[in-house]
Amino acid sequence: MGIPKVSETVERLWNGWELRMVMLLSLFLQIFLILFGRRRKYTAGFWIGKLVWLAYLSADWVATFSLGILAQKIGYSETNRFNSNQGLIPAFWAPVLLVHLGGPDTITAYSMEDNELWLRHLLVLVSQVAVAFYAFARSWWSEDPLLFVAIPIFVAGIIKYGERNWVLRSASSKQCRNEMNELSRKFEEFSNPDVFEMTDEPVVGELGLSDIIDEAKFLHEADLCFQMFRVLFADLVLGDSIHLATHIFLREKTAMAKEAFKLIEVEMGFMYDVLYTKLTKIRSLRVIFRATTFLCLVSALLAFSLGMSRHNHAYLTAEIIISYLLLYGAIVIEIYSVVSLLFSDWAMLWLTGKRKPLFNYVYRTICSSGFLHNDKRWESKMAQHNLIRFQLSKGKSTFISLMKLLGKSSIQSLEVVGDDLKKFIFQYLSDKRRRYKSMKRSPDPGSNDLHGILSERGHQVIGREGCLGNLGWSVTLPDFNESLLTWHIATDICYHDDVRKHGGDAKNIPPNCKMSIELSNYMVYLLVDYPFLLPRGIGNERYIQTCSAVDDDAILLERIISGQHYSWDFGRTISKLQKSRRKVSVLCAGFKLARSLQALVTQDGWENERKWEMISQVWVEMLTYAASHCGWKEHARTLTRGGELLTHVCLLMAHLGLSEQCLTT
């Protein structure tokens, strides 16, 4: 067979299967998105994130491309039915693509910017409906006896596509702000500052939560916190009416930090659903729309099946098979969406909110079945990045190449945020709250303790220990990122020095040491990968210059962190590091700080446990400083990666009243 013959065969094959393949591809992308689109809510997996991004961008393009081909092919099939190889293209394929453009319930927006472009999506809706109607109109005068099957699918497609635009508009910044202006009126009865003296029980009664079953009370408390989050997200001011009520809930959980974090996890899940999915509070209008969509798709499938049984059609076998796949696929996706909603926190909130024995029984049954109630939340993990270890590992080409291939070139490991760390953070925030004079504060944040408390980034801890003279310089540097990297280097060196003094046995290191290392590595990970979550500065340049300084003295540092250099001392090491020409490197400053910290034990008579307790508290204070100086839009962006510990801390602070948006009315 010559080349012209092969080319002609390929062209004929492509012309015959072009539309079929793009229709199946559009269906496949919808199935992929509904299965994996919501996994971003609780996991930061690299491959999942990238594949969802690719599928999300491709889904609309493929559906739009298919509509264009369909409009052309339908007219061609109508004028070429004398060809025995040409059959009718089902007219309902066009509205099926509208259903696909409506998107799955598990993902409506990939990022917050998609919500702001809802008006553009509305214009696309109008244009795509017009194209689909045009393709349908070209079949109107055909001999296709199943033309009417397209009508219910048109209804379903317009509902789903319209619902998507409605959800995008509802999640836009302007609309969120308009809705939140009405929210504060709900809590006007708490505007009296005496609410701070109330116990949990009266507040629960005032909010109508007293008759909620104990197993579900956390859902309703999380919903209240979520309403507060939406106010914060809209950059509005919170009065005592809201944040003191949430503070009472958290105050009662002082001994149960795990429950407080669980409350934040549910709250963040609610916010993720509102910003990025169609899964929100159950409302009668949406139930009617969902039922209408499902019935339309089922009726279309039944009508098509009935038409196939009469054998009076002009469809080819391939078109029949693909038609069944499209119809069954649309119905299965719709069923999956309904099931996802029925077993979500939203449905559980609605069930228990009815306050009826039957509904409470259903809730308990669902909760007792792990298979049914699978609305996953935060994985309670934080990424780790150790500057010195990571830079030294670059010499190991296999390791760094593999990390880059996986798209995690800056993540060395993921550490579980354990209950001990949660308790440590929550107790520290509670202590901050007790130091805040809530009963006498001024509406001006600059004239009360709140502004000063939120500005603490380590000096309060060091001052309490009487070490401002020796260590104060490290936490009062103009650039927060410089302080962060300096303490990161110092914490790492102190750890290795302690291990060296214990003969290489890391098991005898105090518990606070592990928390300090984990928080230190986590904060540097944020600096490297997500600097927008931290206060502005030249952190990136400092990081690069410090990495270069590590390269300059790689042999010495390799011996120190590996425990091989058992006789090294700070004086000679610092003298060597001071010769570095890296102007904004903090490697030398980190060693100086480490020497001062170790001197607390060797010269000032401190217990090693006391030293690490202070270091861990400094890191928590840096964590809280960064959390409170990050915008809510930036925090909301982290929800698509499973959420960050930093966002949990920021929300805990806000619910405790430790936010400059929490002012008196």
* pLDDT of residue 72 exceeding 50: yes
* pLDDT of residue 185 exceeding 80: no
Out of 201-210, 213-222, 554-563, which region has the weakest mean confidence (pLDDT)? 201-210
pLDDT in tens, 447-484: 457 778 888 888 888 988 888 888 888 888 888 999 99
Give the integer Cα–Cα distance in Å for 330 and 153: 10
Across 478-503, average pLDDT: 88
* pLDDT of residue 597 exceeding 80: yes
What are the residue ranges spanned by the domains of the chain?
3-175+281-339, 420-435+444-629
Residue 556, amino acid: L
Give the integer Cα–Cα distance in Å for 160 and 458: 52
DSSP bridge pairs for 384: 413
Across 164-185, average pLDDT: 78
Long-range contacts of 424-428 (CB under 8 A, 24+ apart): 424/515, 424/616, 424/620, 425/257, 425/620, 425/623, 425/649, 425/652, 426/253, 426/254, 426/257, 426/260, 426/261, 426/652, 427/254, 427/257, 428/617, 428/620, 428/621, 428/624
Bigger pLDDT: 146 vs 373: 146
Out of 98-107, 250-259, 301-310, 342-351, which region has the weakest mean confidence (pLDDT)? 250-259
Q: What is the mean pLDDT of the chain?
A: 81
Instruction: Work out the angle between the directed axes of helices 173-180 and 150-170 (0-180°, nearest 10).
Output: 70
Give the integer Cα–Cα distance in Å for 27 and 183: 40
pLDDT in tens, 234-264: 777 776 656 666 777 776 665 578 888 988 9
Query: Running DSSP on this structure, what letter comes out for residue 238?
Result: B
Q: What residues contact 523, with CB distance under 8 A and at least 6 apart?
A: 484, 488, 534, 619, 622, 623, 626
* pLDDT of residue 390 exceeding 80: yes
On the CB side of 135, CA atoms within 13 Å amount to 31
pLDDT in tens, 4-15: 555 555 556 666
Residue 75's pLDDT is 58
Residue 322's pLDDT is 92
How many residues are present in the chain?
665
Q: How many CB atoms lie within 10 A of CB 188?
A: 12
Work out whether the CA dihedral 89, 94, 95, 98 comes out positive or negative: positive
pLDDT in tens, 499-531: 877 766 667 778 889 999 999 999 999 999 899
The reply to whether the predicted model has a pTM over 0.75 is yes
* pLDDT of residue 311 exceeding 70: no
Bigger pLDDT: 203 vs 69: 69
Out of 81-95, 135-149, 469-483, 485-499, which region has the weakest mean confidence (pLDDT)? 81-95
415 by DSSP, 3-state: which? strand
Which H or E element spans position 353? helix 345-353
